[in-house]
Amino acid sequence: MVEKILANLEKSTCAVDNTFLQAVSEVLTSLEPIIKSDPRYEQFAILERLVTPDRVLQFKVQWLDDNNQVHINNGYRIQFNNSLGPYKGGLRFHPSVTTGMLKFLAFEQIFKNSLTGLPIGGAKGGSDFDPKGKSDFEIMRFCRAFMRELYPFIGARVDVPAGDIGVGSREIGYLFGEYKRMTHTYDGVLSGKPYAFGGSLMRPQATGYGVVYFAKEMLKEELQESLEGKVCTVSGAGNVAIHTIEKLQQLGALAVTCSDSEGSIYDPRGIDLHVLRELKENTYRLSLREYAIRVPGSVYIPKSEYLEKTHAIWQIPCFAAFPCATQNELTLLDAKKLLENGCVAVVEGANMPTEPEAIELFIREGVLFSPGKASNAGGVAVSEFEMSQNASMEKWDFEKVDRKLDELMRQIYKRIALTAKEYGVERNFVDGANIAAFKRVAEAMILEGV
């Protein structure tokens, strides 16, 4: 049955890209053993309906640069499944954005959001607009033009977009401003807003902190280990990577790496977060090359020096690895090296950063492997906390959000570990996550009827 659905999917659309098929194939393979356990899954065609988005919106975004030149980009919103609650998922602004990529991210989002146990459905959106090198006013004009096309399709109880790669609180602020102007309403239609108007405390930290809370719980329960004093490798240098490094450091671990799209840093004394932030948390993100100039003893390895199909970061011995940059950034060769060097856990911060063959190897060899849909769900969870605060006109303090996030990440770990055990695939957190998430969504789809 799974093969039939995948074959149909491949045939049905030429826009489909490999990452979408990869994500669907991973999920459906995990579900194969349980699909026969409940006749309603077939009767209600749950799998077929689950792999087909409710709506794929594509629109033209026209904007003026600082020299009054007209530019045109593609804008998208994929509303994949709203069985559990309003559509929810980030917006990505990056030149690599296509419908296929967003379909993969939106599909994953359904499962991630289900794992949180919160009432949110799955969506994703964005544009092939490249924010790099644009002025603040250009970013503002682009965001306003994007929202002018998107606003009729979203709403606080309909679809609540958030940030992702290339979309931080500045962009969310501009998008929100335009939504407010177009609709004359002031509600929680976007999450990840600046704290000054409706944002939740801890949203910027939530994904990275959540990744580490998840890792802490998994290591404690599975290996009776802690992160204290352990060498960890982290990829990426954006929101997720920075806050993963920060929380690792707070828990006494030594995070020795970071990377951007041009190269990697190895700093054996531990990443200097102050320097990393100075380079990356400004309008014109600077190259990590600069880090090695400012921090003696650190090494910069340009991407051009990597061997084919390997990444410098994963060659460095570590106790635990945290891929936090982008999809398919940890290959089979990288996985072999991590194993050889004694890595005991791989905790995904990015969405689908590990290639399927590498995941198989980790699971086969007993490395604790957590899929992003489980370990990076802290971001969307705090986004939902923001929706709750907006709806009740409340403001929660930092400690409350942090406590709830920690508790929620521990619950996600427990949910997927127990599910894996129940279905005879103990410690396979990929299957555990897919099955646990699916059962919740499928039940809602059945109860809501066709």
**Catalytic-role residue among 88, 103, 112, 124:** 124
- Residue 386, interface with ligand NDP (CB under 6 A)? no
- Residue 237, interface with ligand NDP (CB under 6 A)? yes
Residue 45 has which token pair?
Answer: 């065609």
- Residue 240, interface with ligand NDP (CB under 6 A)? yes
Binds ligand NDP (CB under 6 A): choice among 165, 190, 318, 441: 165
Residues in the interface with ligand NDP (CB under 6 A) total 25
- To ligand NDP, the closest distance from the beta carbon of 232 in angstroms equals 17
- Residue 26, interface with ligand NDP (CB under 6 A)? no
- Residue 285, interface with ligand NDP (CB under 6 A)? yes
- Residue 328, interface with ligand NDP (CB under 6 A)? no
- Angle of helix 203-223 relative to helix 398-422, nearest 10 degrees? 40
- Residue 350, interface with ligand NDP (CB under 6 A)? yes
Sign of CA dihedral 258, 263, 266, 270: negative
| Angle, vertex CA 237, rays to CA 271 and CA 241, nearest 5 | 80
- Residue 260, interface with ligand NDP (CB under 6 A)? yes
Q: Which residues are registered as beta bridge partners of 345?
A: 320, 368
Sign of CA dihedral 317, 320, 326, 332: positive
**CA gap 4, 15 in Å, rounded:** 19
Of residues 118-157, those binding ligand NDP (CB under 6 A): none
Sign of CA dihedral 304, 309, 315, 321: positive
Quick check: is 124 catalytic?
yes
- To ligand NDP, the closest distance from the beta carbon of 264 in angstroms equals 8
- Residue 436, interface with ligand NDP (CB under 6 A)? no
Q: Which residues contact 26 (CB under 8 A, 6 or more apart)?
A: 356, 359, 430, 434
Site string for ligand NDP, 195-214 (x = CB under 6 A): ------------x-------
| Angle, vertex CA 411, rays to CA 323 and CA 30, nearest 5 | 65
Residue 49 has which token pair?
Answer: 């309906």
- To ligand NDP, the closest distance from the beta carbon of 118 in angstroms equals 14
Please give the positions annotated as active site.
124
Query: In the complex, which residues of this chain contact ligand NDP (CB under 6 A)?
Result: 163-166, 207, 236-241, 259-262, 285, 324-326, 329, 349-351, 376, 379
